[in-house]
């Protein structure tokens, strides 16, 4: 191993783009070294991030990475953005307050081309909507409780159809989250791997902004988690045991972006 002169750990920062992956390594002495390689080169390596780390450490192809050589790995990636643009996110179910099934589709009625006569409606990220007959007023008064028995049947049907992600968005849940909490617990009990709840993801007053962010989280979190898990498994298979922190790029909100609403320019991208 030419690049690793002793067993003190390196730290790595990785930017994985659609074409190139850039890897910055910090040696044990604090000095930095950069490396660039193709993001996809299946004839040469399986994953660019893992290969970049191996290259900087000077690990030979037939050697495992000594676990003690890797400290922290932080990664920024366009994997989620690519999935968004190509509409290859997780199949998502929207669960919302009865009467508001079209609230996110209507949005803020922003029209970038105000004089256009041929309006092309955006494709929504969720494929199905379940309305829940629940309502909490703005002052916390409970008008109606969710019928969990009836909801169980609808959620079970969606899960049986192969939907794995749920976005739960109720009116005024940013302040009174009990109904969302009960429905989220039911969804997890039924077996949905991804349950995104608006009061946790983006506890803001506006339903549309809170809802959009929650749907994006449900739609893309499994993709990002799958990629990060793949990198972690690849590193582990090659001998390393590293903690990996990852987030999307500027166009894609990081999963569980607490308290951040999706800006209008991002919202137009999400609905293209």
**pLDDT per position as a tens digit, 73-122:** 999 888 888 899 999 999 999 999 999 999 999 998 877 788 888 888 77
What pLDDT was estimated at residue 109? 80
Per-residue pLDDT band for 265 (boundaries 50, 70, 90) equals very low
Q: Enter the pTM of the model.
A: 0.80
What pLDDT was estimated at residue 184? 98
More confident residue, 67 or 48: 48
Q: 205 to each of 23, 103, 106, 174, how far by Cα in Å?
A: 40, 14, 17, 6
Q: On the CB side of 16, how many CA atoms lie within 13 Å of its CA?
A: 27
Per-residue pLDDT band for 207 (boundaries 50, 70, 90) equals very high
Lowest mean pLDDT among 57-66, 98-107, 124-133, 186-195: 57-66
What pLDDT was estimated at residue 3? 46
């Amino acid at each position: 191993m030419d690049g690793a002169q002793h067993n003190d750990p390196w730290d790595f920062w990785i930017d994985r783009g659609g074409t190139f992956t850039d890897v910055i390594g910090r040696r044990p002495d604090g000095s930095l070294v950069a490396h660039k390689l193709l993001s996809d080169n299946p004839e040469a390596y399986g994953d660019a991030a893992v290969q970049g780390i191996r290259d900087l450490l000077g690990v030979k192809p037939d050697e495992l990475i000594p676990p003690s050589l890797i400290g922290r790995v932080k990664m920024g990636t366009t994997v989620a953005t690519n999935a968004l643009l190509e509409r290859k996110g997780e199949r998502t179910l929207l669960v919302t307050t009865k009467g508001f099934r079209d609230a996110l589709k209507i949005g803020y009625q922003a029209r970038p081309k105000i004089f256009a006569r041929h309006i092309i409606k955006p494709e929504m990220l969720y494929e199905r909507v379940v309305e829940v007959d629940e309502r909490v007023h703005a002052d916390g008064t409970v008008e109606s409780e969710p019928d969990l028995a009836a909801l169980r049947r609808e959620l079970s049907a969606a899960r049986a159809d192969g939907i794995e992600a749920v976005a739960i968005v109720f009116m005024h849940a940013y302040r009174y989250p009990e109904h969302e909490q009960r429905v989220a617990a039911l969804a997890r009990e039924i077996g949905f791997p991804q349950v995104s709840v608006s009061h946790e993801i983006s506890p803001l007053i506006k339903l549309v902004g809170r809802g959009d962010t929650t749907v994006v989280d449900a739609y893309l979190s499994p993709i990002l988690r799958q990629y990060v898990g793949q990198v972690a498994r690849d590193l582990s298979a090659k001998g390393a045991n590293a903690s990996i922190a990852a987030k999307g790029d500027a166009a894609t909100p990081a999963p569980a972006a607490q308290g951040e609403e999706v800006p209008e320019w991002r919202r137009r991208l999400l609905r293209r």
